[in-house]
Structure 1
């Protein structure tokens, strides 16, 4: 069964009304076993005990110093916890989870047997209704239908995750008759929604608040101890965090080789932060996610360090930062 993937990189305005995304650059960590919830609760920033009620959580996995290995969406599939994230962060996070997991009744593995695709667009919901008897929504964002797990991703654009074994996913993809894009388009949507997507080398660099995890309900400040909890709490209650995650856009930036973003100070330019993920459309439009000093405003002049003529604008995010 041959799946044709459109490898072009359209700008936001040039994306079709409906399409699929083959999420080859994304996967998940799977936790199974008697103590899977108890163990994970002591490792990540979100309250795993809320999963039964909410069914979908944002979260981060940190080291002992509170620096982030990975940001993920957590949901269940067939009695296992799945931490869905870019493959770029999966290996490091998996190794750390397994390191401490030997002391608990839990099996921790990459979800290599599963494939992930997204259905996006105005007719995504109606199309899914022709194939499944139940469709996830804001109230019930995760549904298991036969062998397929469906996850509703709230945001400006309607989108769903579909998770199943590869053969079943391929069958679903061919039945949709939507164009299929590469996983870079998913990264574009994450950038626009302000969801941390650490697709570039940035692990062990940031505490969760620098990635806006508190703004997307990815940190529980009442759950008790977990790895890195002291640093995360100190950042929250002592107001020590001076950085935040921003979404930016620019044109004609050329090939970007550095991750450094600079801001103008008088006649000089100084480093303001680093790029965490990037999407460069074929028409020259560029969409960037970056951790910058949180005093940045819409009037701040920003550029990419190795492109002095570039100019970046801030994209409004669908949430506000909670600094209380």
Structure 2
């Protein structure tokens, strides 16, 4: 097994009597809708509404598990701790690995199967994401099913650049526009109600893979068209996830001005 596959995500364990109200004021989604049977997507934003991290939320008996990119989890924990103040909330690392296994059911419903030694997250057509103490030798990367499902990931190179709508988090049920205030809400709500989003999440194929990195620039001719968020190998091809400006969506897009990107999916309504 490639251990890097199990280190794509890392998890925090939040406990205490104020966990729900604390996260409700920090994240874009509505924690009152999170129960033992489902898991949620949400964004943690800057005061200006730019996404600092995309998070996955899972309720357990003594609190909430919060997962994100392993590259941003430490920074995320430090920022969250700054706002705990007098709240009864404790934030600590949750030791587990995340990996993917194939699954015959083609479901996009974000449900949770709870086993004695692991949590199984549905919502990835043909796949499941597993949280466990260890991964089997045949463990698969989380990145490919996540990209196929239209779920964005944020790394340090792409942090604090995009509003949630540019990452299709509204379309992916990761933003509530009816809950109370949270960090960055004003700009997120303004964009929603004025319908002025100009950046969109896409996935595309390319022939190069190993050299692709988050933050790489996509161009149409000599013009900047968008930014790479993530990539994953899919057999002999590579799938990339990117944010592209709306006026460039129907243009020929390239990496390095050489390698064409071929659309697989536009992840927005």
TM-score (normalised: structure 2): 0.88
Q: Does 1:24 align with 2:3?
A: no
Alignment of 1:65-214 (within 5 A): 65-111=48-94, 113-122=95-104, 141-146=111-116, 148-163=117-132, 166=133, 169=134, 173=136, 179-181=138-140, 185-199=141-155, 201-214=157-170
8 Å CA contact 2:52, 2:154 repeated in 1: no
Separation (CA, whole Å) in 1 of partners of 2:246 and 2:8: 29
8 Å CA contact 1:253, 1:286 repeated in 2: yes
Aligned residue in 1 for 2:230: 277
Alignment of 1:15-54 (within 5 A): 22-52=5-35
Aligned residue in 1 for 2:178: 222
Separation (CA, whole Å) in 2 of partners of 1:253 and 1:228: 34
Q: Which of the two has greater helix per residue? A: 1
**Structure 1 position 296, deviation (Å):** 3.8
Aligned residues: 267
Structure 2 residues not aligned, in runs of 5+: none
Structure 1 residues not aligned, in runs of 5+: 8-20, 126-136
Separation (CA, whole Å) in 2 of partners of 1:212 and 1:152: 20
**Structure 1 position 155, deviation (Å):** 2.8
Aligned residue in 1 for 2:207: 251
Counterpart secondary structure, 1:206: coil
Counterpart secondary structure, 2:100: strand
**Structure 1 position 23, deviation (Å):** 1.9
Aligned residue in 1 for 2:253: 302
Change (3 A) 1:108 1:302: same
TM-score (normalised: structure 1): 0.74
8 Å CA contact 2:99, 2:142 repeated in 1: no
Separation (CA, whole Å) in 1 of partners of 2:109 and 2:208: 41
Counterpart secondary structure, 2:175: coil
Higher RCO, 1 vs 2 (CA within 8 Å, ≥6 residues apart)? 1
8 Å CA contact 1:116, 1:162 repeated in 2: yes
Separation (CA, whole Å) in 1 of partners of 2:20 and 2:5: 29
Separation (CA, whole Å) in 1 of partners of 2:2 and 2:23: 37
